[in-house]
Amino acid sequence: MLTTKARVRERLIDGIKVQVYDDAKELISNAAMQLSALLKEKPSATIGLATGGTFVDFYTHVAATHKEDGYSFGAAKSVNLDEYVGLNWEDPQSYHRYMLENFFSKVDIRKENAFVPNGNAEDIHAEAAAYDRRIQDLGGVDLQYLGVGVNGHIGFNEPHTPFDSRTHVVDLTGSTREANSRFFIARDVPKRAITKGIGTILEAKKIIVLAMGSSKAQIIKDMFEVGMTTRIPITALKMHPDVTLMLDKDAAALLTDL
């Protein structure tokens, strides 16, 4: 019987390994395979986790396959990228709740080893500094997963954030609040967030970025039409030695030579 193998095209652009997947399921399973390989080799690894619509299928896949695949989160640590300021942990739109529902409650990671910035801290700036220190104390991030905003943000690092920034508090731009308003039915998107800085993100040993859907096509094209510019935060990844950008066909639609 003939089987059709999903196609993956790959090219190094500006030092970033860019992969385009015909099949989004294959993209998710390859992204998960990197996590599986890391935790089999180093069960106590620290993983940097992301949120957003893009990662829902990723977490579902990892939660459903990790046992059979033969690895565990029992000794692993995780440090999430970001959180809205002022949302209660129980709030359905908080990233705490997102992580609990989509991932932490479905795998064997220990609660005390799964970190998300506290957007409700009394002193939010002190929380940011402490979060950055915690990442250092954990020995840094072995593998950081990232999504990308339609304006090129990574984490919640909006355009013009310095590339050496540490975990900090940000004012969200109109475009980000608009893009995320799809999750906030009949209420306002928070105006501020706490996020790992670009400098903090760049210290991860390995970075995997997922971008899916046509809404990301323009920013993916834009990021390769310039060098490195704080106007497009994701271009900072060009200075990192080990970045893989996994795209589905729609997100890659405006990359002409792939």
Q: Which residues of this protein are in contact with ligand GLP, per CB under 6 A? A: 50-54, 81-82, 147-149, 155-156, 176, 180
For ligand GLP, give the closer residue by CB, 77 or 216.
216
Least distance to ligand GLP from the beta carbon of 98, Å? 10
For ligand GLP, give the closer residue by CB, 108 or 178.
178
Least distance to ligand GLP from the beta carbon of 243, Å? 15
Residue 34, amino acid:
Q
Cα separation, 194 vs 160, whole angstroms: 16
Cα separation, 206 vs 140, whole angstroms: 11
Q: Residue 120 catalytic? A: no
Least distance to ligand GLP from the beta carbon of 199, Å? 16
Least distance to ligand GLP from the beta carbon of 4, Å? 28
For ligand GLP, give the closer residue by CB, 71 or 149.
149
Cα separation, 99 vs 155, whole angstroms: 15
- Contacts (Cβ under 8 Å, ≥6 apart) of 98: 51
Q: Residue 88 catalytic? A: no
Helix (H) or strand (E) holding 223, with range, is helix 217-223
For ligand GLP, give the closer residue by CB, 71 or 156.
156
Least distance to ligand GLP from the beta carbon of 148, Å? 6
Distance of CA 245 to the CA centre of its chain: 11
For ligand GLP, give the closer residue by CB, 51 or 120.
51
Residue 127, amino acid:
E
Count of Cβ atoms closer than 10 Å to residue 17 Cβ: 14
Write the DSSP string, 9-73. Answer: EEEEETTEEEEEESSHHHHHHHHHHHHHHHHHH-TT-EEEE--STHHHHHHHHHHHHHHHHT--S
Contact 99, 80 (CB under 8 A): yes
Determine which one of 96, 158, 168, 180 is catalytic: 158
Q: Residue 151 catalytic? A: yes
Determine which one of 153, 157, 180, 248 is catalytic: 153
Active site residues: 82, 151, 153, 158
